[in-house]
Amino acid sequence: PRTDIVFLKVHKSASSTVMNILFRFGEMHNLTFAFPQGGGFQLYYPHHFLAKFVQGFSPLSPRRFNILCHHMRFLQPEVQKVVPSSAVYFSILRNPVQLMESSFVYYKGASAFSRVRSLEEFLSQPWRYYDPASGDRHYARNLMTFDFGFNPDGDVSPERVQLMLKAIEASFDFLLISEYFDESMVLLKEMLCWDLDSVVSFPLNSRDSSTKSPLPDSVVEKLKAWNRLDWEIYTHFNRTFWERLDRLIGRERLRREVRALRQRRAELARACLQGTGSVGPKDIKDSSLRPLQHGGARILGYNLKQGLPRELERTCRRLVTPELQYSSLLYKKQFPPQPP
């Protein structure tokens, strides 16, 4: 199994679920994480990543960490200072149309969105609300482009786009696609030589469907045009994702593996969860399992069955622990507080 990993956690792309998978694997195999200084939850995002943002990093000591997976804005020369040279680099992408719809609800307080009632209103005159100089502009345009370290207001000429795609290909071993999450997990398992239980998960940090609404075609086209760089990244890597699956696994085995993954998830859900799945924030009984609520979204969570055997309870709890709580737990384990 590969144990040295860099995961670029792209916003609003099922990346919290992937992070849970990495947290569980790292904890189980006693791996070290490149945590933000002081146990924060982001590596000084939205600044480009610097090695000094990592707790325990020192330019004088050659200490390397196994897993880097907290939110950052990618900058490979700095990343290379904190992980072994053998590390596998990957990320996950989402269709920019759905990504922006999600960002609009989640980051409603962002300067570009705060004065509009709807995404349609924003897209009717984006330049009226969007300021390229504002510190939170990236939430409103080409968010994936930004997270990968590029300029979200950059030139969209074919030459520039090709350079950007080539740069991403040079840095990353593979990219997953959140719309095909289960197929992505099969690819992840293959690329990292992990077993099925290491990549099985429950969806985390997902929002209640009551805040989701389908977008009219005219808006979809405007969204693609406004997020042109993201659209180029997504369509290119969606294609290479399927090419890689066909080359490495083939459709027949892919179907079998996806089926096995879904069966295992259903099995764990029956063993672990009260009811049939996720519940709204007010219905989560154990406050330590309540995810952070943000913007206009209602972020769902889970209730565990009572009286589970100890080992199973531990497995189940890890599967449903929200990102911030899990991160804090692992941070305290890796950097135990010093007794006074």
Per-residue model confidence as pLDDT tens digits over 1-14: 999 999 999 998 99
Q: What pLDDT score does 277 carry?
A: 86
Share of the chain above pLDDT 90, in %: 88
Q: Does CATH number 2.60.40 belong to domain 5-334? A: no
In this prediction, residue 211 has a pLDDT band, given cuts at 50, 70 and 90, of: low
| C-alpha pair distances (Å), 126 with each of 104, 121, 132, 226, 295 | 13, 8, 11, 8, 20
- Cα 319 from Cα 201, distance rounded (Å): 6
Q: Which tens digit of pLDDT belongs to each residue from 28-47?
A: 999 999 999 999 999 999 99
Closest Cα to residue 141, out of 171, 113, 105, 179? 113
For 173-197, the pLDDT digits (tens) are 999 999 999 999 999 999 999 999 9
Weakest-pLDDT range from 43-47, 90-94, 101-105: 101-105
Cβ proximity of 302 and 203 under 8 Å: no
Domain spans, the chain:
5-334
Beta pairing partners, 335 = none
The pLDDT value recorded for residue 205 is: 82
Which of 98, 233, 251, 267 minimizes the C-alpha distance to 186? Answer: 251
Q: What is the pLDDT of residue 111?
A: 95
Q: Which of 27-41, 78-92, 102-116, 206-220 has the lowest mean pLDDT?
A: 206-220
